[in-house]
Amino acid sequence: MSGAADPDDEELLARVFLTRVVEPGDETGGRWVRELGAREVVRRLRGEGTALPGVSGQRWDGLLARAARAEARRDLDIARRAGVRFVAPGDPEWPGQLDDLGDARPLGLWVRGRPSLRMWALRSVAVVGARACTEYGAHMAATLAAGLAERGWVVVSGGAYGIDGAAHRGALGAGGATVAVLACGVDRPYPRGHTELINRIAEQGLVIGELPPGDHPTPSRFVQRNRVIAALTAGTVVVEAAHRSGSLVTARAAQRLGRHTMGVPGPATSARSAGVHELLRGEAVLVTDAAEVVELVGDMGELAPVRRGPVLPRDLLEPGARRVLAALPGRRAAGAQEIARGAQTTPEDALARLYELRALGYVERLGDGWKLTRQAIVSVRGDTSPC
């Protein structure tokens, strides 16, 4: 798990500065950073040197006006007081799959919550859909999310009303892991009616976004947020979506990125499922439960369930993860609270660590409990006898 950002790291400060100036998904800004480096881009935006290429004079003036108000150290200080950290490309916590976005890759992510974003993203699935969903849609989203959580997968969604909220609640209700990707500052939950839910996600999981503290959502930011959901996860499941639903943007981004795209069918007469049915007539795969989702996403190379043993030797794990690993009984499953007591930590921290260990192949989830895998027993304890 990453610690607080270094306020003297010039590269990090430059990227924090740029999150206040450049809009999410701006490929021109991403190309500037790739070709010139974040610090040089900031220098130009501060009026030192010539204007950067690829934008009109009017737009350049707008960027300079934004840059004049940006204060990276202030944003980091506000974030720190809100329990938020900034994770940039190259940071140990950065999820490498976001690099697939090319010049549209986030400049960095503001992260609220204890778990490691990189580790949780390794085994994650997006569940998205209509805001104005039906009872059927909400039931299917919650049931799918709960089933995925019970199988050790992290559920990612956008924190919105409707399907998103049902997915988050389903994962949390199953004692599982969930990540909310917001189109605003992560210190200011949106929609406001989901403040309690988003705060709960931050306590038990992760709330992430590209926008700096206090920034507000806009229609374009919702659209750009969807590309992060698609890139971060092994696959996207759409539950209810009309023809012009924003969740279809997520699904199509997932297809462009080579991720699995899935849809839950609805009634043939339902306009709220018309977009899903359109996806299913294309390259999306029809799914009806969590087992079918896992059967599909579990075949994705390095994102597949680890069957050959832990990726990291035990001595490379962070101390907190090692304590949780050591607290697991050798021959039976145990709940998060029991494991937390043995590791002398909170149940929320234990759960976060268990999902990290699951991504590395050390543990597996069995019902409401967690158990060491056979490979972990051999690797950690040197015990080759049957479990």
- H/E stretch holding 327: helix 319-327
* pTM for this predicted structure: 0.87
178 by DSSP, 3-state: which? strand
pLDDT of residue 300: 43
| Residues 171 and 148: beta-carbon distance below 8 Å | yes
Instruction: DSSP letter for 210, please.
Output: S
Class of domain 314-381: mainly alpha
End-to-end CA distance of the chain: 30
Distance CA 230, CA 382 (A): 40
Mean pLDDT of 171-199: 96
86 by DSSP, 3-state: which? strand
- Model confidence over 137-150: pLDDT tens digits? 999 999 999 999 99
pLDDT of residue 49: 86
Each domain of the chain, given as residue ranges in start order, spans 10-80, 113-303, 314-381
Distance CA 375, CA 385 (A): 11
Q: Give CATH for domain 113-303.
A: 3.40.50.450
Mean pLDDT of 337-348: 93
Closest CA to 379 of 309, 328, 306: 309
Q: Please tell me which residue, 212 or 307, carries the higher pLDDT value.
A: 212
Name the pLDDT band for 307 (thresholds 50, 70, 90): very low
Distance CA 86, CA 73 (A): 12
- Model confidence over 367-382: pLDDT tens digits? 889 998 877 776 555 4
Cα 346 to Cα 320, 350, 352, 376: the distances in Å are: 11, 6, 10, 23
